[in-house]
């Protein structure tokens, strides 16, 4: 028997060595600070003179058994063609800790070591302490070691299944039913349900009949919004082009803050569609910090960064108020306070309208307010979701499309030629008659999806890769990795829009194309505003390429590949006037 003192684990390296399966390796690595080992029957006074026991393998407490509800049914266990859930490969508890160590932001060595050690013994208690929704490159390491289906189980709570192949994703999505369950953004959920004490967590987080009700209400207005709001978005794109002219330097380069200019354009588009009014994000004189759009911009940037910090790594904010949690509350409260004014105005407008002949006469927010069973607080969560998630996703997509075009001059020239063949005035029809533009948008989103990791709770028992997977298993699908597989896309890491216009995609990829590239998700929980986003992106690219040749001279641009993904470097694009 043994006893381990955490105070003697002076650094991560020593602790990892102590947990190594080869005790000799641990002894050699921790010579400078050997953990105190006390044998049964040895008094405290004898510790200093007692000889250290011979090196023996570390024996850990037995982990809790899998609940009966998750055990493989006997009918499946006896089926020779299907392996039981227990056989799904993946790292064991101590291996998980060792491999994840560099991905867990340490508050301090002793605190992190202590938490992980306790988690080994109290797996269920710490079940929600860690997030598995991290960087896509992190997932690739698991797939490289364990294969296409990986099960994470042990110290951090319930089972998590990692997938990256389109055929496996198709099984998950095809079995999810009309009301799929998506579990993510715990910090936003806590903010709404516990801090604001709302009845629902919002459409992005909700499930069940309440989600379906809001989903159905939004479906038609969002589907019709590209045509209905085309002229307004066209004017906002013109303002963006003028912004490019005004902020570029003598070398025709954009400032390091150009990412915020793209976000302003996205926020103006969102507000124009949902509120049916422009708030002034693209004001040529700039934004006053105290103005409504200035405060919304500040709130969205601050809340987005706070969500990223809260969602990845230790979820300490679930137990104590961390700086990231306080920032999230502060910024979301700021956004809500401003949006509340516009929702009140929408209510007043509806009271003044005696006869609404068509839904096109009202905004999306007003259409929600007309529903008796949808509360004002539900409308607020819809708005906040569109600002935080929708605007960020569109900003990410336009940023990487500009980047890929700048790095592929041939593609940029081909797209420019297609655009110039159209009439001088851009219309909805002319956008729809630009197949190469649509191919460029698809290809850019394949390479850099705005939400690279999708998650679902398995709706029913399934067989994936000949493994039985029980209902209720939490599944993470690495969309970014699925769309880079060579068996589905030849030369997968290269920007080649032509692949979407020909038969270059392999027969297997054609069959599973919808699952090989899922930038907007899939199924009932897919993005309802995807047609609107594609229209906005296509219209802006038309405007920019007519005026400028685009370059990027700062090496490779990568995405953070996390939820609410963002470019990892400043967007110093060079916009050169076309002669």
With H, G, I as helix, E, B as strand and everything else as coil, classify residue 69. helix
Q: Please state the φ and ψ torsions of residue 468, each to the nearest 5 degrees.
A: -75, 125
CB 226 within 8 A of CB 531: yes
C-alpha closest to that of 467 among 178, 85, 162: 85
**Helix H or strand E encompassing 533:** helix 530-547
Q: Where are the alpha helices (DSSP H) in 176-291?
A: 186-190, 208-228, 230-247, 258-274
Q: How far apart are CA 297 and CA 276, in angstroms?
A: 18
**Residue written as tokens 């992005």?**
204
C-alpha closest to that of 184 among 490, 521, 420: 521
**Cα angle for residues 246, 248, 252 (degrees, 5° grid):** 130
Region for residue 154 given its phi and psi (left: phi exceeds 0; alpha: psi -120 to 50; beta: otherwise): left
User: What residues form DSSP beta bridges with 477?
Assistant: 163, 454
Non-local (6+) Cβ contacts of 373 within 8 A are 213
Q: Where are the alpha helices (DSSP H) in 422-529?
A: 428-432, 435-447, 479-482, 507-511, 513-516
CB 506 within 8 A of CB 487: yes
CB 234 within 8 A of CB 541: no
CB 92 within 8 A of CB 120: no
CB 137 within 8 A of CB 455: no
**Residue written as tokens 């009301």?**
179
CB 577 within 8 A of CB 250: no
C-alpha closest to that of 466 among 134, 183, 72: 72
Residue 569 burial by Cβ neighbours in a 10 Å radius (0-12, 13-18, 19+): middle
Q: Please state the φ and ψ torsions of residue 467, each to the nearest 5 degrees.
A: -110, 135
Asked if residue 527 belongs to a known ligand binding site, the reply is: yes
Angle between helices 391-407 and 292-311 (to 10 degrees): 80
CA torsion, ordered 508, 512, 516, 518, to nearest 10 deg: 160
Known binding residues: 527
Known binding residues for heme: 527
């Amino acid at each position: 028997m043994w006893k381990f003192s955490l105070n003697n684990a002076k650094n991560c390296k020593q602790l990892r060595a102590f947990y190594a399966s080869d005790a000799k390796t641990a002894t050699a690595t921790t010579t400078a600070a050997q953990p105190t080992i006390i044998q049964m029957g040895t008094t405290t006074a004898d510790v200093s003179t007692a000889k250290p026991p011979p090196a023996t393998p570390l024996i850990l407490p037995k982990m809790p058994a899998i609940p009966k509800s998750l055990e493989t049914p006997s009918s499946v266990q006896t089926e020779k063609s299907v392996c039981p859930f227990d056989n799904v490969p993946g790292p064991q508890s101590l291996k998980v800790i060792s491999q994840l160590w560099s991905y867990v932001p340490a508050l301090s060595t002793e605190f992190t070591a202590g938490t992980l050690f306790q988690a080994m013994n109290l797996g269920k208690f710490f079940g929600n302490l860690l997030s598995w929704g991290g960087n896509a490159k992190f997932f690739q390491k698991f797939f490289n070691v364990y294969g296409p289906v990986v099960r994470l189980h042990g110290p951090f709570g319930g089972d998590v299944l990692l997938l990256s192949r389109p055929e496996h994703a198709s099984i998950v999505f095809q079995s999810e039913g009309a009301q799929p369950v998506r579990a993510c953004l715990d910090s936003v959920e806590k903010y709404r349900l516990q801090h604001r004490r709302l009845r629902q967590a919002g459409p992005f987080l909700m499930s069940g009949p309440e989600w379906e009700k809001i989903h159905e209400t939004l479906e038609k207005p969002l589907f019709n919004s590209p045509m209905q709001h085309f002229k307004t978005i066209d004017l906002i794109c013109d303002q963006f082009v003028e912004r490019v002219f005004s902020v570029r330097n003598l070398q025709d380069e954009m400032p390091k803050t150009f990412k915020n200019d793209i976000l302003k354009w996205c926020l103006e588009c969102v507000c124009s569609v949902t509120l049916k009014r422009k708030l002034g994000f693209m004001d040529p004189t700039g934004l006053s910090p105290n103005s409504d759009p200035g405060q919304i911009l500040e709130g969205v940037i601050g809340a987005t960064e706070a969500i990223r910090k809260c969602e990845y790594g230790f979820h300490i904010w679930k137990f104590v108020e961390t700086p990231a949690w306080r920032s999230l509350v502060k910024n979301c409260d700021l956004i809500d306070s401003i949006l509340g004014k516009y929702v009140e105005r929408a209510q007043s407008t509806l009271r003044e309208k005696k006869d609404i002949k068509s839904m096109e006469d009202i905004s999306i927010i007003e259409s929600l307010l007309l529903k008796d069973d949808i509360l004002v607080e539900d409308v607020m969560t819809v708005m906040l979701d569109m600002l935080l998630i929708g605007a960020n996703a569109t900003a990410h997509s336009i940023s990487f499309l500009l980047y890929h075009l700048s790095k592929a001059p041939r593609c940029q020239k081909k797209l420019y030629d297609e655009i110039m063949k159209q009439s001088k005035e851009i219309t909805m029809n002319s956008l729809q008659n630009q197949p190469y533009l649509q191919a460029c948008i698809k290809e850019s989103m394949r390479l850099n999806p705005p939400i690279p990791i999708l998650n679902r709770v398995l709706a029913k028992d399934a067989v994936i890769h000949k493994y039985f997977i029980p209902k209720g298993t939490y599944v993470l699908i690495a969309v970014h990795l699925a769309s880079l597989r060579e068996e589905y896309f030849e030369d997968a890491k290269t920007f080649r829009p032509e692949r979407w216009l020909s038969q270059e995609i392999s027969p297997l990829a054609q069959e599973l194309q919808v699952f090989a590239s899922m930038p907007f998700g899939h199924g009932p929980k897919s993005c309802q505003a995807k047609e609107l986003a594609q229209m906005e992106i296509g219209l802006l690219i038309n405007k920019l390429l007519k005026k400028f040749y685009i370059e990027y001279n700062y090496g490779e641009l990568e995405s953070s590949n996390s939820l609410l993904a963002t470019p990892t470097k400043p967007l110093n694009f060079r916009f050169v006037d076309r002669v």
